[in-house]
């Protein structure tokens, strides 16, 4: 009798595992995709245009709002043909603005 109970329990557990893996017991929820979130990701980050004075650096203009790597990356993204360490006095550049 113990063997029969053990075999039935084992078969029942195998059935539960098979059913759960093949069909599943938790329904998948399809979350809607909002266009507004997609547009904000594609928008250009906030920036301000500043005419550089002698002695200014990217870090001195932007400040310590974020990490220096992120500031340099954002500056070079806003100004594609300019390196952050090669800005020239008298030229106007776009500098990222952080909240």
Q: Where are the domains of the chain?
A: 2-29+42-96
Residue 42 contacts by C-beta under 8 Å, 6 or more apart in sequence?
A: none
Looking at the domain covering 2-29+42-96, what would its CATH class be?
Answer: alpha beta
Closest CA to 97 of 63, 68, 69, 67: 63
Q: What would the pLDDT profile of 50-83 be if each residue is shown by its tens digit? A: 999 999 988 888 887 778 888 899 999 999 999 9
The confidence score (pLDDT) of residue 10 equals 96
CB 3 within 8 A of CB 11: no
CA 5 to centroid of chain Cα atoms:
53
For 44, which DSSP code? P
Closest CA to 97 of 76, 69, 66: 66
- Global pTM reads 0.54
């Amino acid at each position: 009798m113990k063997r029969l109970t053990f075999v039935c329990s084992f078969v029942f557990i195998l059935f539960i595992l098979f059913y759960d893996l093949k069909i599943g017991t938790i329904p998948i929820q399809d979350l809607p995709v909002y266009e507004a979130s997609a547009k904000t990701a594609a928008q250009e980050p906030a920036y301000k245009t500043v005419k550089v004075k002698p002695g200014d650096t990217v870090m001195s203009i932007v400040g310590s709002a974020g990490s220096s790597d992120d500031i340099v990356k954002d500056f070079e993204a806003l100004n594609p043909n300019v390196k952050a360490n090669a800005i020239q006095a008298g030229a106007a550049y776009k500098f990222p603005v952080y909240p």
